[in-house]
Amino acid sequence: MSGWFSKTVVDATTTMLTEPFVHEYMRANIWHVRGSDIDLLVDTGMGICPLAPEIDAPAGKPLLAVATHIHLDHVGSLHEFALRAGPVQSAGEFVRMGDAATYADEFRTLEGAVSRLPRHGWKAAGYRIEPAPLTRVLAEGDRVDLGDRSFTVLHLPGHSPDSIGLFDEKDGTFFSGDAVYDDTLLDDLPDSDRAAYRRTMLRLLDLPIRIGHGGHGPSFSRPRMREIAAGYLQAGD
């Protein structure tokens, strides 16, 4: 449906998309980053409406879609893209996109799942995620090269065991998925691990980012990320 996605130009190479009619609990950020040789898409939303036509990229230019983890609000449209990357920890699950890995069943029963129907007759009860076998598996220390810039893969478990982030060490841009974002952090899901999350927060305290773009909420500075991480650690003491 036209108008299902909102778009915000962040800077000369970055656009953020989101789905404003999806319940705020599952309304995730989608990041399109333009590179000289290849474009990058960080997460792909719910998959309720086609995402690929909304991505403004030159015809024929490769685009790599990266899932920061396998939860439903980050992988819904992954199958629409030919080049698909995701964490090694959950790589096998992308072939199935089952409820146990994605939590898609939570959306089917969520009250007020959408504030506007994407099309006539649509029902949340029929929601499913198409399988999207990965064409590339990402692990700690791997590089995602766009030609004029490169991102290092960081394994940042806690929210989920497979959570990863992408860090451009040269300019300090950090795509953090749900490892950290400027909103209420979730650490009580069946696959969450609070001890691992504390270790991730300790790591983030020292990560020299310039700007962070999370899976939810607004972008954040390094001082704000340190504040979020420190707050999480203090709350657990």
Question: Residue 45's domain is classified under what CATH number?
Answer: 3.60.15.10
Nearest CA to 18 among 215, 225, 234, 230?
Answer: 215
How many structural domains does the chain have?
A: 1
Q: What is the pLDDT of residues 82-141, one digit of tens each?
A: 999 999 999 999 999 999 999 999 999 999 999 999 999 999 999 999 999 999 999 999
User: What global pTM score does this model have?
Assistant: 0.97
Residues 6+ apart with CB under 8 A from 10: 16, 213, 219
Q: Which of 41, 89, 52, 68 is nearest to 181 (CA)?
A: 68
186, two tokens: 């979730």
180, part of any domain: yes
Strand 143-145 and strand 150-155: pairing?
antiparallel
Nearest to 177 by CA among 187, 190, 162, 189: 162
Collapse the DSSP code of 213 into the 3-class scheme (helix H, G, I; strand E, B; otherwise coil) and give the result.
Answer: strand
Q: What is the pLDDT of residue 86?
A: 98
Residue 236 pLDDT grade (very low, low, confident, very high; cuts 50, 70, 90): confident
Q: Is the pLDDT of residue 1 over 60?
A: no
| Half-sphere CA count of 63, side-chain side, radius 13 A | 23
- Mean pLDDT of the 165-190 span: 97
Q: Residue 237: what pLDDT?
A: 67
Rounded Cα gap, residues 84 and 31, in angstroms: 15
Q: In the numeric block, which tokens belong to residue 65?
A: 């879609």
Residue 55: helix, strand or coil by DSSP? coil
Residue 1, in any domain of the structure:
no
- Give the chain's mean pLDDT: 97
**Does residue 195 fall inside a structural domain?**
yes
For residue 162, give the nearest of 232, 220, 101 by alpha carbon. 101
Asked, for residue 209, whether it belongs to a domain, the answer is: yes
Write the DSSP string, 1-44: -TTSSEEEEEETTEEEEE-TTB-GGG---EEEE--SS-EEEE--
CB-based contact 85:75 (threshold 8 Å): no
* Domain annotation covers residue 172: yes
Structural domain of 81: 6-236
Query: Do residues 8 and 15 make contact, with C-beta atoms less than 8 angstroms apart?
Result: yes
Tokens for 87, please give them. 């964490």
To 5 degrees, how large is the angle CA 28–CA 33–CA 35?
A: 165
Looking at the domain assignment, is residue 31 inside a domain?
yes
Rounded to whole angstroms, what are the CA distances from 63 to 10, 40, 52, 83, 155? 19, 6, 10, 7, 22
What pLDDT is stored for residue 57 in this prediction?
A: 87
